[in-house]
Amino acid sequence: MRMVAAAKINLGLKVLNRRPDGYHNLESVMQQVSLADYLTFERVSSPGWQFKSTVPRLGGEDNLVCRAARFLAKRVGASPPGVKITLYKNIPSGAGLGGGSSDAAATLRGLNIFWRLGLSSRELAELGASLGSDIPFFLHGGGTAFARGRGELISPLPPLPLFWVVLAKPSRLSISTASVYGGLEEKMSPVLSPNILREAILKADREAILNWLGTGAINSLQSSVLTCYPRLGRLRRRMGELGLKAAMSGSGPTFFALSDSYSLARQAAQILQAEGYRAILCWTVQRTVTDR
C-alpha cells in the first residue's frame, strides 16, 4: 500500500496569544501543495512495525512516523500484524512545510487501514492533534482550510483556484518551530486577519487572493525569523526581483510565492536553484479525502 503525504504552506498565519499550556492560539489559512513524501506499507511476518527512511538521519525512533505508529500500536493492544513502513522523503524537514506532520497523518491513515482499526478521519484527527498541531489539517484531507486554536481546529474551505507555487529556502537551513514560538515575545509582526483571505477564498476572488499575498503582512512569525536569519531577507528580496511576492510559510525558513504564470514561476525557481537555494516549483492541490 502506498500513501501520498503532501506538504502545506500557510497563506496567512496570525498568532493571537500565548496560552497557559505554552502553545499559542492562532488563525491560519492552510493550503496543500503538490510537493509530497511517499510512504509504503508492506506486510512482514514478524508482528509490530518496522521503519526505514530514504534519508537515514530521519530514520530514528523520534521520527513522527514512528511516534504515530507507536501511538496506534498501543491502541491495537497485543501484537499488531507485522508491517514495514518506508518513508520516501522529498519535503525538506524543519522548513515550515509540515512535512513531518503530513508523514504522521499518512502513517495514521495507512495503519488505520492496514490494521483494520475502523477509525474515522475525525477520530484520527483527534489522535493526531496529540502528536502535533498541524497533523489534523492533513487528516481532514488537506486542500484549503481555516485553522484555529493551536492549529488543530480545522474548517475546510472551498478549493483555491490553481496557482503555481515557488518554494525556496537556503539549502542547509532548518528551523525548529518550538524555538521560533519560544523567542516570539514582543517581536511579533503586525499582520492582517486571515479572515480577509478566508472571505476572498469563499468568493473565489483570484485577484483578492493575490492582493492579500502582496500585502507582505501575512505571517506573525516572519519578522522575528528574519531578524535571526538576515539571509532570509536577501532571499525574499531576490524573489521580489524575479517577480514573486514572497511570504514565509509557518515558522520558516521556506518562503513561498503564488503565480498565475507557469513560465515566470519556472524560470524563477531555476534561477534560485542555480544561485544555490533549494527551490521547488509545485502547485496548489485540492482535498484528498472527505470527513466521515
User: Residue 178: CB partners within 8 Å, gap ≥ 6?
Assistant: none
From the list 17-25, 36-44, 208-216, 255-263, the region that binds ligand C5P by CB under 6 A is 17-25
The C-alpha angle 225, 216, 276, rounded to 5 degrees, equals 55
Based on the shown chain and the rule CB under 6 A, indicate whether residue 181 belongs to the binding site for ligand C5P: yes
What is the maximum span of the chain, computed from C-alpha positions, in angstroms? 59
Active-site residue flag, 8: yes
The answer to whether 194 and 12 are in contact (CB under 8 A) is: yes
B/e letters for 10-31, b = 16+ CB within 10 Å, e = fewer, are: bbbbbbeeeeeeeebebbbbbb
The answer to whether 39 and 26 are in contact (CB under 8 A) is: no
The C-alpha angle 97, 103, 106, rounded to 5 degrees, equals 125
Based on the shown chain and the rule CB under 6 A, indicate whether residue 177 belongs to the binding site for ligand C5P: yes
From the list 16-24, 65-73, 86-94, 220-228, the region that binds ligand C5P by CB under 6 A is 16-24
Candidate residues 3, 7, 13, 24; the one interacting with ligand C5P per rule CB under 6 A: 24
The nearest distance, CB 6 to ligand C5P, in angstroms, is: 17
The nearest distance, CB 241 to ligand C5P, in angstroms, is: 32
How far, in Å, CA of 63 to CA of 83, rounded?
17
Catalytic residue among 14, 37, 134, 169: 134
Active-site residue flag, 134: yes
Candidate residues 96, 99, 132, 194; the one interacting with ligand C5P per rule CB under 6 A: 132
Candidate residues 4, 23, 59, 288; the one interacting with ligand C5P per rule CB under 6 A: 23
Binding stretches for ligand C5P (CB under 6 A): 22-24, 26, 132-134, 150-151, 177-178, 181
Residues annotated catalytic, as ranges: 8, 134
